[in-house]
Structure 1
């Protein structure tokens, strides 16, 4: 049984506008610096424990990768860590930057 839900860019945009949402970007540092979802935090093996400690398990968590594939496994992992509402962004950042360019930023 999956502990996460796949979410479209449009639905994620609505969720972000209406809720206090956390966003974990699991892409490499260079890709993140070139562009990422506004308010996204880059998460990798080096800061994973810190991210889990610092973020709320009750707030929705959207996981973003390149194309929406890797984020599914990571979303399942976060669900197993006790996050109550976890979402994997369909199409990843590549879809997000097309669908929601106004909600992208550079580091």
Structure 2
């Protein structure tokens, strides 16, 4: 541990440059993924703005419980099936996965396809069900 501190004190410019690069990369990647929304925001978008919930989990997980009126397109099929979502391009699309991390890839794919109002559900379906919100089976 002492060697690390010694190195950092001697090479502070190099360490600072690496830290700055890491922070910029993190910031850039998080901005590309798009904003996240909580459970209440998802409900508001669906009810007030005709938002669409896109569940990117596989079919088995979807059948075990999903948010009411959500569409299921597994992440692995999203590029091929994104045409099915074209009618929702002018509406908010909220992407849902199990924990909220897989949705990042889906939001990037949808943004590349021209969707502008793309969000991901913070914490995924796990946080939704932990809040005792309704799931359809």
Both proteins in one fold, TM over 0.5: yes
From the superposition, tell whether residues 3 and 67 of structure 1 become closer, same or farther in structure 2 (CA, over 3 Å).
closer
Q: Tell whether 2:110 aligns with 1:61.
A: no
Counterpart CA distance in 2 for 1:46 and 1:76 is 14
Give how far 1:63 is off: 0.5
Question: 2:50 is matched with which residue?
Answer: 20
Higher helix share: 2
TM-score if structure 1 supplies the norm length?
Answer: 0.85
4+ runs deviating over 6 angstroms: none
**5+ unaligned residues in a row in structure 2: which ranges?**
1-30
Higher strand share: 1
Counterpart CA distance in 2 for 1:75 and 1:46 is 14
- Whichever of the two has the greater Rg, that structure is 2
**Alignment length (residue pairs):** 104
**5+ unaligned residues in a row in structure 1: which ranges?**
none
